[in-house]
Amino acid sequence: MGNFLESGRRDFLKWALATGLSTVLLDRGKTQAQNPADTSIKANLILHNGRIATQDSQKSFVEAVAIRDNRFLAVGSERGVMAYKGEQTQLIDLNGRTVIPGLNDTHTHLIRGGLNYNMELRWDGVPSLADALRMLKEQAIRTPAPQWVRVIGGWSEFQFAERRMPTLAEINAVSQDVPVFVLHLYDRALLNRAALRALGIDRNSVAPPNSVIEKDSQVLSCTK
């Protein structure tokens, strides 16, 4: 079942990527099909003095683009594109920076989101560790068995006023019965005792590769 879901996810992302790129290229093709000499149509926005990736087959870069109503009017040199400048045109000087037209929301977790989105907790932008631990405790109270509390990535200890990670003791204090999994970036995870029990990890368990099991006088906790 897991292989089927993963295969389906890969196929969907391939389809989404191909469709999105086709849309970008088709839109660009439409703008180039307009009469390039018709400069009576003025742009809402001009990006200039930059390196703008065109995404064409030659992977070429241009200096400027003119845009009107979310469509490209002109793509090319600074001099050529400035012909589309009007009194109301917004100019953005890129100062030599690179612009890469891209796709929005290309990185998605549709399957995971559908299965357990309401079980996940995010700490993005939480100002203090005290607030984060309070949120964790509240999430544990409303999480039904046998589900886990999951704090997923997107946070850093440096956003907290305390400027530190939560300790294992603090994670254990959140709940004695509900498994808690706190993901820190992509290099480690903190698990409370209930999570270790659910995984069948005890005092005699050997730590998985690249992992550390921390033991105390009563029971152990684990970080990865």
Q: 212 and 168 in one domain?
A: yes
Do 39 and 130 have their domain in common? no
104 found inside a domain: no
120 assigned to some structural domain: yes
Q: What is the CATH number of the domain that holds 18?
A: 2.30.40.10
Instruction: Indicate if 145 and 211 belong to the same structural domain.
Output: yes
Instruction: Sort 136 into a burial class: Cβ within 10 Å, 0-12 / 13-18 / 19+.
Output: buried
Residues 47 and 123 in one domain: no
- Write down which residue in 99, 129, 144 finishes a domain: 99
CATH number for the domain including 211?
3.10.310
Q: What is the pLDDT along the chain (224 residues), one digit of tens a residue?
A: 444 344 445 554 444 444 444 344 334 444 443 445 577 899 999 999 999 999 888 889 999 999 999 899 999 999 999 999 999 999 999 999 999 877 666 677 777 777 777 778 999 999 999 999 999 999 999 999 999 999 988 899 999 999 999 998 999 999 999 999 999 987 788 999 999 899 988 878 888 787 777 766 554 555 55
Whether residues 84 and 144 share a domain: the answer is no
Residue 97 DSSP class: -
> 106 lies in a domain?
no
Question: Would you say residue 10 lies in a domain?
Answer: yes
Q: Structural domain of residue 185, as residue ranges?
A: 114-223
Give the pLDDT score at 215. 66
Domain endpoint, select from 99, 126, 141: 99
Nearest residue to 153 (alpha-carbon basis) of 190, 179, 198? 190
Q: How far apart are CA 92 and CA 66, in angstroms?
A: 11
Phi, psi of 217 (to 5 degrees): -70, -20
With residue 150 as reference, give the H or E element that holds it: strand 149-151
Note whether 138 and 174 are same-domain residues: yes
Supply the pLDDT for residue 103: 61
Do 81 and 154 reside in the same domain of the chain?
no
Q: What is the pTM of this model?
A: 0.52
- Record the tokens describing residue 223, joined without a space: 């970080």
Question: Does some domain include residue 107?
Answer: no
Do 34 and 131 lie in a common domain? no
The reply to whether 118 and 81 lie within a common domain is no
The one-character DSSP state at 119 is G
Q: Is residue 146 classed as helix, strand or coil in its secondary structure? A: coil
